[in-house]
Structure 1
């Protein structure tokens, strides 16, 4: 109890920095819960305080205090400025209103398989979504008819007649993908795209038998559609299926779902971290590409230097003067360097944090072309920059 009182005093001291009223109440020892919560909310909305709550969803511990904190401390939809892109006005950014009488703008943000087909979770940002309405999927241009509206209570479904702005609901029978914008007919507005981080870990999986292979195929198609952070591809060199995600637990959940929902038993290999390579020092290059094929040949020379850069994956800078390389061929030079990035010379991992500067070159009136300049890159000079492993990091963005 004494430690709890000590922590409460520390909380009051931190929150009092943002409320004169709370400061006076603390001095007079008459702090109330409403006054304290009001000060914490004010600091939370300006992102100067970050409330941390302890609990376990698995053990059902601390869940209600978390929900109460969300309700008390975070902004309501009326206090948040949501933005979208007007596709008919040169992608101009517009501010949405929570007015229920305006044309509908909504976002499908999650998909899952329900007992009656695909269940699409949707948030309404503007207007009102009512049962029987016809919407337009901005990405595909197709119209969809709303047959059933659902409010979710854990695994319980409650039929409702409408979803006003600021609320979340679910739809059945809608063919769409996660991140699609659904709007009222007659307007072409798209919600700003979600930030999808790159995967940080990968697993090689192999089906146990032919039956599992069929189930695996269906599972991967479903999972990649409902979760943009889950990636999959086939490695032709090893003849393995590779799944990638945001962590070991993330992939373990999907492997368990393959077994439980699609009756697909798979064997998983050792986790492989999605390493990248980067360079550590500057190196100059001066490369000439020559090829004679009997007719028109290929010729191009590109010179410049490469150096490490910390705040971008790849930077290309053109410092050519005097027309040493014609302007139409500059894009070909950049494409040539970009083509080298997926497979580095150090350990064949993707290359990041590289700045390429071209400052000289040469072309031929008859033999130079976009393709010739594209092949005049100097990727072999990366070895002279002392490449090394780059830690795999995920950018996390918190928004209200």
Structure 2
């Protein structure tokens, strides 16, 4: 394998990385998303990562509207990320597939479908604000995918920021064991400078240039009376003890007095991948302080596709969820192809499908099977993604993320070897909460509006379109007012259809506050054995967004099974409307 040219953070300058290099081994791949509450600094952090890994010469700024990742016009105008951007870069001989996701709640589908195909996450927190509402939302989404994560406490250069308070808030809010690995320290005569302590290595981290590219590692004072030395020793002792409490192998080494730094790093990696611990690092993305150690942490602690293990297909007509015959694919080029389309966009070049390959190799010109309907098609052009730029590829290997041009696919489609079919779990977008009416400005554009809405549904599965049975209006539903604003803007700018909007209608989510039980008896005697039935319907609240969970617990045959589907349908119909 040809090794890349990017050095670790103990180098003074990270040299520029060639865009094309030999394929890294699968254990050297890291697929991760950058997630957070809006304005926590995700895109600023991602831009600095691209500079340090050589993909950009100079970082753009969100407030200037010139970032490489927020390339859409609406993103640049509003200063927020609207659609997830994917880029591949290299660090320390590892291939990083980074996905910068939106932080605004209205664009939660981008987080859901991105984390569906990623192996880990970097959660960015504002060191002043701490854990915010959308932080909790994206954390729950990561929990549903069982994703290991690393936390970056950002904006520690600002007044009111507190690393220690944020760490405690992480533990209290999410019930996790946080491991402070890179923490801020105060030095005499350096009040304006953000200096960090690498707790694992026992070194000070300082940057000697304004752009934050030149990182210098300094030894700690040797004097036992030094307050800085005492703080560093206490921090490392607390870290080692916490890791030992959650890793038996490391605990044995620690008790034997032979716990090396390498053993500590390995134990932290095991604990992170098993989700027993969460590494936490501090810094300032805007000042480019702490980004190199974060990249080192991504490489050292987040899993490779190999660590995530084999992917399991979903049940079909021939199998059940408990069936041991469910198809499985190992993360290897030698296994049959299994890939998932997790995003579709349309532009002037046509359809671009974002694909994660779990096993096998997706090659240009080869025939693959679409699991949704069993149809086969020939793979068109493959590209490596860099925001809105594309770099040609001949093949996409196991563990990689890339783009497929011109394919007739939707979000959640599985691509498989025709001789070894498999269907992977799809993408489950959040349900819409608001809708408004949408009509073409000109009646002759009605057909064009229909086609534009069809494409919009393919691109954004969290959008819903329906026709009101009473008024005949076309209703567009989404995750919030901003979501619908951007959706209608795309109808105008991307599809050239001028539309007129009606008043938003909020779709209230209702449920029962408690369990309610209703019983009915039938007792009829007219000669012979007679008729008797006792039916109880018990209805109660479910988890938010779970919908109707129906359970048939009839026994004895008094209620014919043929009646059960009608009962379930009646309950579904009753759920469509409520008092609000």
- TM-score bucket of the superposed structures, by smaller chain: 0.5 to 0.7
> CA–CA distance in 1 between the matches of 2:538 and 2:440?
47
Q: Which runs of 5+ in 1 are unaligned?
A: 289-299, 348-400
1:379-390 alignment, distance < 5 Å = none
Whether the 8 Å CA contact 2:438–2:475 is kept in 1: the answer is: no
1:1-400 alignment, distance < 5 Å = 4-5=184-185, 13=238, 17-19=242-244, 20=250, 40-50=268-278, 69-81=297-309, 82-85=311-314, 90=319, 92-199=325-432, 201-207=433-439, 209-210=441-442, 213-263=446-496, 264-267=498-501, 269-270=503-504, 272-280=506-514, 282-286=516-520, 303-310=535-542, 313-319=548-554, 321=556, 323-344=557-578, 346-347=579-580
Question: Which deviates the most, 97-106 or 240-249?
Answer: 240-249
> CA–CA distance in 2 between the matches of 1:217 and 1:305?
42
Whether the 8 Å CA contact 1:43–1:49 is kept in 2: the answer is: yes
CA distances 1:93-118 after superposition (whole Å, capped 9, x unpaired): 23311221222121111111133211
> CA–CA distance in 2 between the matches of 1:53 and 1:246?
32
Deviation of residue 173 (structure 1)? 1.7
Q: 1:276 to 1:52 in 2, by over 3 A?
A: farther
> CA–CA distance in 1 between the matches of 2:364 and 2:446?
39
Q: Where is the strand percentage greater, Structure 1 or Structure 2?
A: 1
> CA–CA distance in 1 between the matches of 2:505 and 2:302?
37
TM-score by length of 2: 0.48
> CA–CA distance in 1 between the matches of 2:283 and 2:463?
27
> CA–CA distance in 2 between the matches of 1:271 and 1:36?
55
Q: 1:73 to 1:267 in 2, by over 3 A?
A: farther
> CA–CA distance in 2 between the matches of 1:15 and 1:195?
40
> CA–CA distance in 1 between the matches of 2:345 and 2:359?
24
Give the SS at the match of 1:190.
Answer: coil
- Superposition RMSD in Å: 4.1
> CA–CA distance in 2 between the matches of 1:209 and 1:324?
59
Q: 1:61 to 1:141 in 2, by over 3 A?
A: farther
Whether the 8 Å CA contact 1:123–1:166 is kept in 2: the answer is: yes
> CA–CA distance in 2 between the matches of 1:268 and 1:43?
52
CA distances 1:193-243 after superposition (whole Å, capped 9, x unpaired): 3333322x2120333612665554333211211232222212233443333
TM-score by length of 1: 0.67
Whether the 8 Å CA contact 1:212–1:265 is kept in 2: the answer is: no
CA distances 1:248-294 after superposition (whole Å, capped 9, x unpaired): 44333323222221233443534614322325353535489xxxxxx
Q: 1:212 to 1:46 in 2, by over 3 A?
A: farther
> CA–CA distance in 1 between the matches of 2:446 and 2:369?
36
Whether the 8 Å CA contact 2:385–2:403 is kept in 1: the answer is: yes
Deviation of residue 153 (structure 1)? 1.7
Q: 1:56 to 1:196 in 2, by over 3 A?
A: farther
Deviation of residue 307 (structure 1)? 4.1
Q: 1:116 to 1:40 in 2, by over 3 A?
A: same
